[in-house]
Amino acid sequence: MTRILFICLGNICRSPMAEYVMKDLTSKAGLSEQFEIASAATSAWEIGNPVYPPARQKLAEHGIDCNGKTARQMTRLDYARYDHLIGMDESNLCDILRLVGGDPQHKVSLLMAHTDHPREVADPWFT
């Protein structure tokens, strides 16, 4: 099983959207059983809060339900549990590395580094 943790600052916009889109993609491909997919925050600001309503609405427009998802903060233990820790921007990567104490197994990356157009995913909360 491949374990993927998507990470952003608050875990209410970008990382839960990535989590639920990836869950939808793996489900439609019949691969759900091969993946464990989750998301978390680098900060404690939004712990326990649901997905930001505009993000929830955008997912719903694509038939993706994220009801019940609440924000949680990542921990050092997540580095051991997950195969891939995927941040949305360079600030997330710095925070992830600080929280887990480095990346000796090369598990940490930017989401868009896995595409033909590597770049940061802007935080809609601040843009």
What pLDDT digit, counting tens, does each position of 57-78 carry?
999 999 999 999 999 999 999 9
The domain in which residue 100 lies consists of 2-114
| pLDDT (tens place) for every residue of the chain, 127 residues total | 999 999 999 999 999 999 999 999 999 999 999 999 999 999 999 999 999 999 999 999 999 999 999 999 999 999 999 999 999 999 999 999 999 999 999 999 999 999 999 999 988 877 7
Written as one letter, the residue type at 125 is W
Q: Report helix, strand and coil shares of the chain as percent, to nearest 5.
A: 40, 20, 45
**In a domain? residue 90:** yes
Q: Report the CATH number at residue 37.
A: 3.40.50.2300
Q: Which of 69, 53, 61 is nearest to 19 (CA)?
A: 69
Mean pLDDT in the chain? Answer: 97
**In a domain? residue 58:** yes
**In a domain? residue 120:** no
**In a domain? residue 125:** no
Which pLDDT belongs to residue 124?
83
**In a domain? residue 124:** no
> Which one of 14, 24, 56, 89 is the catalytic residue?
14
**In a domain? residue 123:** no
Q: What's the pLDDT tens digit per position in 111-123?
A: 999 999 999 998 8
Number of structural domains the chain divides into: 1
**In a domain? residue 101:** yes
> Which one of 3, 72, 103, 123 is the catalytic residue?
123
The stretches of the chain forming alpha helices (DSSP H) are 14-28, 53-61, 76-81, 90-100
**In a domain? residue 15:** yes
Assess whether 8 carries a catalytic annotation.
yes
